[in-house]
Amino acid sequence: MKPTFYVTTPIYYVNDKPHIGHAYSTLLADCLSRWHGAQGEETFFSVGTDEHGAKIAEAAAKAGKKPEVFVDEVSAEFQTAWKALNIEASDFIRTTEERHKTVVVSFMNKLKADGHVYEGEYEGMYCVGCERFYTERELNEKGECPDHKRKPKLIKEKNWFFKLQPFVSEIIRDIESGKMEMYPEKRKNEVLSVLRGGIEDFSVSRQNVAWGIPLPFDTKQNIYVWVEALQNYISVLGYNADEAHQGANFKKFWPANVQVLGKDISKFHCIFWPALLKAAGLRVSKRFLITGFFTVDGQKMSKTLGNVIDPNDLVAKFGADGARYLILAQFAVGEDGDIKAEKFVEKYNADLANNIGNLVSRVATMATKYCAGVVAATKFRKNIGEYKKSFAKAMEQGQVYDAIEAVIQCAASVNKAIEVYKPWEKAKDEAHSSELKKMVSTWVGEVAEIGTMLAPFTPEAAAKITQAFADPNHIHNPGILFPKIK
């Protein structure tokens, strides 16, 4: 049996259109899925949209639409954007789908039957923007939500609660032992300090939120949107609380190998979600890949500033490959960083059109001109082997930025070797003929390897490189891979 690899993205709230932040996490997961697939693993890559809750109901009302109509429209925009970016997801799950509701209902019933939930009165500060309660100390000095800069609503209502306490020490142990891995490391300490700081039980239902899935054992309540949305990671695999009817994909792919998420939602993914899974008798995801915050040209992305980047616009200008590359090649995964939108054209031209594009074209041209398209099998030069190794190590970690750096440096190093060797000079003298052919053969092999490395990032161009360099008896020019952009 093939090893399996299951990677998830967070499912995105449909209160807003897809922007570059959504595209970033989705591309990150897409690259990992493609790479693990290329290593011979059977992959499952899930994406989707989070469509219930007060925030969505508010956004729909603002748009003058019924929530069900509104969520259909916005979810479709996400699907269109992912198609344009050449995202190869195995499935797209929507939390308004029946298949999701069925799983959630059976999951909640199981929690109830096994005594993991209890009824209680809750009074707390709720931020609709975040769809979560805040404790006093989590608010800023003005008593506002640190993200939305508005005062949360004081809510007093009857809720059902999840007994978190029995799982706290177990989760701490899993994190410390590395059974539950977190990347980057610094996020681990943040989550541990929340766990050790005395974390309260959380509510699994809401009384006055109309747009949601009814709690099966108390239908006057709707399931708290976060508790329900987290279950998308198993509903997409066809999880069934009844083991006799367990979904084939769930059996095959759970637990997830990598769950990609933003650092603002780590409490939900690295504490609440593992606890819910444990309560249901399920294994916890192996690895949480946590992304940082970003700015655009040094400023926070906002509608007011007009600097929101629509991934569709990037695809229109740079093509799917170019857009994928520019979104991922900005800063290290897990760090806060700046997306240098002003430098997109410059970066595209430098890295893709000039470095990679020129290299492929010049090596293909030499292969046809000096070797009549026929090359011999050769070994990579030592430094190319090193780039290959650091590339693989970075991909294994989910550090796609470092992987991209390795490919770019690798291509630059082959370009440099060509400049130093000056094949056009050697070609003038018949005495150098066999040595020249050997050199060109080496470069052909190295460029083919660069094509393989590029596959997760720029899949269309990579396929063209592979196709043009695949047959050693017929190396040909794949044409312009990355047209220069003004």
- Cα–Cα distance for residue pair 255/259, rounded to 1 Å: 10
Neighbours of 142 (CB within 10 A): 9
Q: Does 356 bind Zn ion (CB under 5 A)?
A: no
25, 30, 36, 40 alpha-carbon torsion, rounded to 10°: 170
The least distance separating Zn ion from the CB of residue 246, rounded to whole angstroms, comes to 37
DSSP result, 271-295: IIHHHHHHHTT-PPPSEEEEE--EE
Q: Does 292 bind Zn ion (CB under 5 A)?
A: no
147 or 425: whose CB is closer to Zn ion? 147
CA distance readout (Å), 69 to 138, 244, 436: 35, 36, 65
Paired tokens of 398: 């989910």
Q: Does 313 bind Zn ion (CB under 5 A)?
A: no
- Cα–Cα distance for residue pair 325/150, rounded to 1 Å: 36
- The single residue among 147, 342, 396, 471 that binds Zn ion, judged by CB under 5 A, is 147
Residue positions annotated with a catalytic role? 19, 22, 127, 130, 145, 148, 300, 303
Region near Zn ion per CB under 5 A, out of 77-85, 147-155, 185-193, 235-243 = 147-155
Q: Does 145 bind Zn ion (CB under 5 A)?
A: yes
Cβ–Cβ < 8 Å for 314, 326: yes
The least distance separating Zn ion from the CB of residue 329, rounded to whole angstroms, comes to 31
The least distance separating Zn ion from the CB of residue 127, rounded to whole angstroms, comes to 3
The least distance separating Zn ion from the CB of residue 149, rounded to whole angstroms, comes to 8
- The single residue among 148, 179, 196, 343 that binds Zn ion, judged by CB under 5 A, is 148
132 or 464: whose CB is closer to Zn ion? 132
By CB under 5 A, the count of residues binding Zn ion is 6
Angle between helices 358-371 and 400-421 (to 10 degrees): 40
The least distance separating Zn ion from the CB of residue 323, rounded to whole angstroms, comes to 30
Give the contact letters, 109-128, x = binds to Zn ion (CB under 5 A), - = no. Answer: ------------------x-
Q: Does 129 bind Zn ion (CB under 5 A)?
A: yes
- Sign of the dihedral defined by the CA atoms of residues 413, 416, 421, 424, in that order: positive
Cβ–Cβ < 8 Å for 407, 452: no
Give the contact letters, 333-352, x = binds to Zn ion (CB under 5 A), - = no. Answer: --------------------
139 or 192: whose CB is closer to Zn ion? 139
396, 400, 403, 405 alpha-carbon torsion, rounded to 10°: -160
Cβ–Cβ < 8 Å for 296, 307: yes
Look-up of token digits 């069900």:
68
- The single residue among 38, 63, 130, 199 that binds Zn ion, judged by CB under 5 A, is 130
148 or 369: whose CB is closer to Zn ion? 148
Residue 375: partners with Cβ closer than 8 Å, 6 or more residues away: 367, 437, 440, 441, 444, 445, 472, 475
The least distance separating Zn ion from the CB of residue 226, rounded to whole angstroms, comes to 13
- CA end-to-end distance (rounded Å), the chain: 50
The least distance separating Zn ion from the CB of residue 262, rounded to whole angstroms, comes to 14
The least distance separating Zn ion from the CB of residue 178, rounded to whole angstroms, comes to 32
140 or 169: whose CB is closer to Zn ion? 140
CA distance readout (Å), 18 to 14, 25, 271, 310, 463: 8, 11, 27, 7, 27
- Cα–Cα distance for residue pair 421/419, rounded to 1 Å: 6
138 or 460: whose CB is closer to Zn ion? 138
42 or 138: whose CB is closer to Zn ion? 138
- Cα–Cα distance for residue pair 33/31, rounded to 1 Å: 5
Look-up of token digits 């701490």:
172
130 or 199: whose CB is closer to Zn ion? 130
- Cα–Cα distance for residue pair 112/107, rounded to 1 Å: 9
Paired tokens of 459: 């899949």
Write out the residues near Zn ion by the rule CB under 5 A: 127, 129-130, 145, 147-148
